[in-house]
Amino acid sequence: MNPLSTTGLKNVWAEYEPDLLAVEDCLLQFSESTTETIRDVTTHIIRSGGKRLRPLLMVISSRLSEYSGSNMVLLSAVVEFIHTATLLHDDVVDRAEMRRGRPAVNQLWGNQSAVLVGDYLYATALWMATGIHNHEINDVLTLACRKMSEGEVLELMLDNNLDATEEDYLKVVECKTAALTAGTCRMGAILGDLDTAGKKALEDFGYYIGMAFQVADDTLDYMAREDRLGKTLGKDLSEGKMTLPLLHCLAHSSASRREQLVRMMGQGEITALQLGDVLGLMKETGSLEFSLEKAMLFMRKAKQSLDPFPDSSHKQNLLALSDFIIERDL
Amino acid sequence: MNPLSTTGLKNVWAEYEPDLLAVEDCLLQFSESTTETIRDVTTHIIRSGGKRLRPLLMVISSRLSEYSGSNMVLLSAVVEFIHTATLLHDDVVDRAEMRRGRPAVNQLWGNQSAVLVGDYLYATALWMATGIHNHEINDVLTLACRKMSEGEVLELMLDNNLDATEEDYLKVVECKTAALTAGTCRMGAILGDLDTAGKKALEDFGYYIGMAFQVADDTLDYMAREDRLGKTLGKDLSEGKMTLPLLHCLAHSSASRREQLVRMMGQGEITALQLGDVLGLMKETGSLEFSLEKAMLFMRKAKQSLDPFPDSSHKQNLLALSDFIIERDL
């Protein structure tokens, strides 16, 4: 990891430590269940860590909107549970072996438990959220959930699909990632009772930071430093995921090189030698630079979305977080 | 099917035909999607039919509560979508081959699509429901969803579990089936703005009819007439499902016969000869009579729950529906 950006993120995290610790307590509290499998699976995945990006967005958005009541912590746990539920189902769909550096739930407890405990977390999150009795919150959250599930199906349809376009890819990213981050930041603004323009500005910030995060993540899949833990380079290629670097490279390669790429797609495993070839191709077509530039464009738009807000430490922290989104792991 | 009870149900259905046709329209309308797989899978499972028991409960409960506005139709579609989402996930968990007389979605489109389109239907249902902007409805519905998903996990934990008790079984039925039927009937009362006692009475009716329905269903798995379509006798036994007839039989058999039963549990397939042996055993222990009597007890409690309501055609129809719940398929 780039020590600078890690330090940057750590500083941001440190500023909200009491809030984020309260979120962890809330997550563990609602992971309790008299049903053993629910408790075991939920506690396992919650204790496995994760970036907690969505709770952090919820907390800073709320505080920027001058709200710091208990619903900020509750909704932070809600968005993390929703994200966690999609991870459980994703791991079943992708037959994942590892998650957050530990064996995936589907490996330890089987697909059945992963599907059903995912459902439970999702249901619990919506039950927690609707308990706040705020229609605006409910509308934002359920619409985000609907878009997310649509994005998951869209992504599945694009796997190994050579007709996939950059537009298709961006639609998937918008649905599966940006819808929830946009909704999260908007909910912070709703809690703080900001005016229409304020809510829109924070929603836009969340949208663009979600887009930047996912596009950067999909690019890092090909270019992250090898000592990065818990991730295998070229995983998306081996799974036939039509992400931006691959789409760009396919579109800008000769017919013979395109064929070479297609043979490797969805193979299940990519050797270091094959990955070297792919990275060579992507260097020729400039696909990684193209993708990173796209991520940075979204990052700049995220930052611009905050223009209407006067300067404050919370605003500075959202700006610092935007930089981290791109710089992590490079 | 018993022609009498079929006629009885048809008469009830006929009385609410315009409402139920509006529900079908609503289901198909919200099955539309620009995402091909979502549209195809949803339309397939919605067009495959099903008893539409939950929409019927929603419609009659609403009308008994003197409400007949558009939210009655919308919430009928909501509860059917939620039920459908759990069927999609159930079929993945149980590796089902058929559903409603047609190949199951997991067979036609794969487990991945079944999981993700299930998520989409679930998210769509909650987005539709929260759009009504009624906190009481939201609270009832999300609590029911949470209980349902807990029931699904509980059921999975009981599979092939020889320590399972009748109490465990009833908890599963309560969560996975009765929670949604109870919530459905209560939502009808909420739409009609009944007082606390009226809401409780309809909720109780929904609870007991759900209990009666599921216990009868689990008993019919062993005793339905062989010409009944789309269902294989002894399926629960072959899957190691610890339902009431099996639990009772295990508890009241000699050690050697108990061993004989245990050998057949979760085998994946039961021959006609083996099924004959099991039915012989269940005859000796009176397990099917015991289970049916339990279902009838719940059915009588369902009917009693309606005592506070003055006589009306809607009340008569709920009473007729209660009879059908037990008598179907015998």
Cα gap A246→A258, rounded to integer Å: 10
Question: Does A111 contact chain B (CB < 8 Å)?
Answer: yes
Please name which of A218, A115, A233 lies closest in space to residue A170, comparing C-alpha atoms. A218
CB within 8 Å of chain B, chain A residues 167-186: none
Q: In angstroms, what separates the C-alpha of A137 from chain B's closest C-alpha?
A: 10
Specify the DSSP element, H or E, that contains A47. Answer: helix A36-47
Dihedral sign of CA atoms B225, B231, B234, B236 in order: negative
Quick one: pLDDT band at residue B27, thresholds 50, 70, 90? very high
> Alpha-carbon dihedral of residues B179, B185, B189, B191, nearest 10 degrees?
90
Burial bucket for residue A45 (CB in 10 Å: 0-12, 13-18, 19+): buried
Please check whether residue A235 is in contact with residue A265, taking contact to mean a CB–CB distance below 8 angstroms: no
pLDDT reading at A229 higher than 70: no
Cα gap B326→B298, rounded to integer Å: 10
Cα gap B16→B56, rounded to integer Å: 8
A112 CB neighbours in chain B (<8 A) are: 92-93, 156
Q: What is the mean pLDDT of residues B96-108?
A: 89
Say whether B153 and A116 touch across the interface (CB within 8 A). yes
Q: What is the pLDDT of residue B267?
A: 76
Question: Does A4 contact chain B (CB < 8 Å)?
Answer: no
Quick one: pLDDT band at residue A260, thresholds 50, 70, 90? confident
Quick one: pLDDT band at residue A228, thresholds 50, 70, 90? low
Cα gap A207→A61, rounded to integer Å: 13
Give per-residue pLDDT as tens, A306-317: 999 999 999 999
Say whether B116 and A35 touch across the interface (CB within 8 A). no
Cα gap A104→A40, rounded to integer Å: 13
Say whether B126 and A126 touch across the interface (CB within 8 A). yes
Say whether A146 and B135 touch across the interface (CB within 8 A). no
Q: In angstroms, what separates the C-alpha of B91 from chain A's closest C-alpha?
A: 10
A143 CB neighbours in chain B (<8 A) are: 127
Dihedral sign of CA atoms B171, B172, B178, B179 in order: positive
Quick one: pLDDT band at residue B7, thresholds 50, 70, 90? low
Quick one: pLDDT band at residue B229, thresholds 50, 70, 90? very low
Quick one: pLDDT band at residue B49, thresholds 50, 70, 90? confident
Helix/strand/coil for B94:
coil
Quick one: pLDDT band at residue B2, thresholds 50, 70, 90? very low
Question: Does B150 contact chain A (CB < 8 Å)?
Answer: yes
Quick one: pLDDT band at residue A7, thresholds 50, 70, 90? low
Give per-residue pLDDT as tens, B114-157: 999 999 999 999 999 999 999 999 999 999 999 999 999 999 99
| CB hemisphere CA count around A259 (13 angstroms) | 3
Question: Does B84 contact chain A (CB < 8 Å)?
Answer: no
Tell me which of B33, B93, B126, B167 to substitute to probe the interface with A (most A C-beta atoms closer than 10 Å).
B126
Q: What is the mean pLDDT of residues A229-246?
A: 82
Quick one: pLDDT band at residue B269, thresholds 50, 70, 90? confident
Which domains, and CATH codes, for chain A? Answer: 3-327 (1.10.600.10)
Question: A94-133 burial by CB neighbour count: b if 16+ within 10 A, else e?
Answer: bebeebeeeebbbbebebbbbbbbbbbbbbbbbbbbbbbe
Say whether B123 and A135 touch across the interface (CB within 8 A). no
pLDDT reading at B16 higher than 50: yes
Question: Does A150 contact chain B (CB < 8 Å)?
Answer: yes
- Angle of helix A196-223 relative to helix A53-64, nearest 10 degrees? 150
Give per-residue pLDDT as tens, B175-194: 999 999 999 999 999 999 99
**A15 residue type, one letter:** E
Provide the CA B310 distance to its chain's centre, in angstroms.
Answer: 28
Q: What is the pLDDT of residue B3?
A: 40
B133 CB neighbours in chain A (<8 A) are: 135
Please check whether residue B5 is in contact with residue B314, taking contact to mean a CB–CB distance below 8 angstroms: no
Please check whether residue B124 is in contact with residue B81, taking contact to mean a CB–CB distance below 8 angstroms: yes
A152 CB neighbours in chain B (<8 A) are: 116, 119-120
Q: What is the pLDDT of residue A320?
A: 94
Q: What is the mean pLDDT of residues A289-315?
A: 98
Say whether A120 and B35 touch across the interface (CB within 8 A). no
Cβ atoms within 10 Å, residue B49: 10
CB within 8 Å of chain A, chain B residues 191-220: none
Say whether A152 and B113 touch across the interface (CB within 8 A). no
Quick one: pLDDT band at residue B158, thresholds 50, 70, 90? very high
pLDDT reading at A176 higher than 80: yes
Q: In angstroms, what separates the C-alpha of B289 from chain A's closest C-alpha?
A: 31
- Nearest CB partner across the interface for A138, out of B115, B130, B154: B130
Q: What is the pLDDT of residue A306?
A: 98
What is the token pair recorded at A156?
């599945």
Q: What is the pLDDT of residue A61?
A: 98
If one compares A212 and A96, the residue with the highest pLDDT of the two is A212
Give per-residue pLDDT as tens, B200-217: 999 999 999 999 999 999
pLDDT reading at B8 higher than 70: no
Helix/strand/coil for B248:
helix
Q: In angstroms, what separates the C-alpha of A299 from chain B's closest C-alpha?
A: 28
B131 CB neighbours in chain A (<8 A) are: 139, 142
Cα gap B69→A319, rounded to integer Å: 49
Q: What is the pLDDT of residue A226?
A: 53
Give per-residue pLDDT as tens, B273-286: 888 889 999 999 99
Q: What is the pLDDT of residue A4?
A: 44
pLDDT reading at A147 higher than 70: yes
| CB hemisphere CA count around B220 (13 angstroms) | 22
A158 CB neighbours in chain B (<8 A) are: none
Q: What is the pLDDT of residue B178?
A: 98
Quick one: pLDDT band at residue A3, thresholds 50, 70, 90? very low
What is the token pair recorded at A212?
């930047």
Please check whether residue B35 is in contact with residue A154, taking contact to mean a CB–CB distance below 8 angstroms: yes
Say whether A156 and B112 touch across the interface (CB within 8 A). yes
